[in-house]
Amino acid sequence: MSYPERKRKKTRWSTPHSTPNPSLPDDLLLSIFARVIFARVSRLYYPTLSLVSKSFRSLLASPELYKARSLSANTESCLYVCLRCCSGYRWFTLCRKPDQTITNNKERKSSGYALARVPIPGGSPNVRSSSLVAVGSDIYNICGSINKASPSSSVSILDCRSHKWREAPSLPVELCSVSASVLDQKIYVAGCYNQVQGNGYPDSRKNSFEVLDTKTQIWETKPVPCCSGRIYNFFNSKSTCIDGKFYVVTEDRGSEVAYNSKEGRWDSKELGMGGFMFSDSYCEIDNVLYSLSDGAFRWYDTEVREWKDLNGLFQLPKFSASACVRLADYGGKMAVLWDQLPYHYGYQKEIHCAVVERPTRYEMWGKSCEIWGKVEWCDLMLTVPTSYVLVKVLAATL
């Protein structure tokens, strides 16, 4: 039985009116996708990611990425280390390394951290330990001179997002000695300048006290301290900020003077703060001053008003009095970096790093109390020529 052939009904598909909706270029889509992903990745991995390609390296330095990090509340403290060598200055940043184990005579587990070289176009200007401070994602270099014989008023800023230096408003006066600290996004600078005679030769040193508002980028000259008829010498001074005050410790180690920023006045109280601040191995964390001096870690605050031993750092080596050690506030933790010669002395030395968990205060009877710290990790970071000098360790927020 044959069936008649059925005619297929032609269906006419109606096409809607097309609207102009061009697709985004592939490179733009990749950029947007990567920016969203990278904004949620710890910056400790950025040095490794930058090795993938030039586009990744460019993306990791883009302002849009850090804006996305800020909007996603994913900012973090990033540790930066400055070393001085014969050819200038080299900067490094703490990062995570892919290889979690290293071998040194016998295999041992690594901390997983390393110091990655920061590529800075054009190199770095001259810096000093007391002239480097971090404000947000910027590192300020107050006075670009390496010795007191060449005073300077220059100020430069290292943008830790792009790793490029840029010029900032100069100081109102050329300083031959400078010590800077940060309080409420303002940089307080205590220093000295040379007063010049009519014949062009310096007559004497005069104190200078300048404050930079990092938001407006405007310098303001403040009155220098003269308390109870006593004139304090800011030459070779050290400074820190505790309890909302800018403290300056003078060179004789016995005099401290504090500037109250809210009241706009100086106060000269002998607090005993300065005895352990002249090794450049000190930092402030949560209104407590920590110092390594004469091989011992100590702490000080304005409540106890005396230096006390910092307990619990059993994993750290016994530092000699001449050891070059630098401390930094690393997001509430304490970063400790030091250099040491290896057992088989040659033409190289080692740069080590340890991170101490946020120190814990234990209240005792009366006003007596103790602070304990616990070493989170400790590891060898770099091997460098013996001519290298550890200048500064500080943390930026990105």
Residue 312 CA to residue 357 CA, distance in Å, equals: 11
Are residue 252 and residue 187 in the same domain, yes or no? yes
pLDDT, residue 350, reads 93
Are residue 154 and residue 261 in the same domain, yes or no? yes
The answer to the question of residue 172 being in a domain is yes
Q: Find the domain containing 226 and state its range.
A: 125-278
End-of-domain residue from the set 278, 312, 339: 278
Are residue 148 and residue 266 in the same domain, yes or no? yes
Residue 95 CA to residue 273 CA, distance in Å, equals: 34
Classify residue 193 by burial, with Cβ atoms within 10 Å: 0-12, 13-18, 19+. Answer: buried
Residue ranges in the chain whose pLDDT is less than 50: 1-3, 8-21, 30, 101-106
pLDDT, residue 12, reads 47
Are residue 36 and residue 135 in the same domain, yes or no? no
pLDDT, residue 28, reads 60
The answer to the question of residue 262 being in a domain is yes
Contact between residue 282 and residue 292 where contact means Cβ atoms under 8 Å apart? yes
pLDDT, residue 228, reads 57
Are residue 259 and residue 158 in the same domain, yes or no? yes
pTM of the model: 0.85
Are residue 188 and residue 260 in the same domain, yes or no? yes
Are residue 156 and residue 32 in the same domain, yes or no? no
How crowded is residue 159: how many other Cβ atoms within 10 Å of its Cβ?
A: 16
Are residue 133 and residue 71 in the same domain, yes or no? no
End-of-domain residue from the set 258, 278, 298: 278
The answer to the question of residue 33 being in a domain is yes
Q: Which helix (H) or strand (E) holds 27?
A: helix 26-38
Distances (CA, A) of 4 to 9, 11, 68, 277: 15, 21, 69, 106
Q: Which helix (H) or strand (E) holds 311?
A: strand 308-311
The answer to the question of residue 272 being in a domain is yes
Are residue 138 and residue 236 in the same domain, yes or no? yes
| Domain harbouring 134, CATH code | 2.120.10.80
Sign for the CA dihedral angle at 76, 214, 302, 191 comes to: positive
Q: Given the DSSP bridges, would you call strands 369-372 and 308-311 parallel, antiparallel or unpaired?
A: parallel
Contact between residue 142 and residue 133 where contact means Cβ atoms under 8 Å apart? yes
Are residue 163 and residue 225 in the same domain, yes or no? yes
Residue 298 CA to residue 173 CA, distance in Å, equals: 36
* Locus of tokens 């703490």: 94
Angle ∠(246,248,251) on CA atoms, nearest 5: 170
Are residue 132 and residue 190 in the same domain, yes or no? yes
The answer to the question of residue 377 being in a domain is no
Q: What is the pLDDT of residues 279-315, one digit of tens each?
A: 789 999 999 999 998 889 999 998 888 899 999 999 9
How crowded is residue 34: how many other Cβ atoms within 10 Å of its Cβ?
A: 18
Q: What is the DSSP string of 201-247?
A: SEEEEEEEEEEEETTTTEEEE-PPPEETTEEPP-TT-EEEEETTEEE
End-of-domain residue from the set 16, 44, 75: 75
Are residue 46 and residue 136 in the same domain, yes or no? no
pLDDT, residue 316, reads 95
How many domains does the chain contain in total?
A: 2
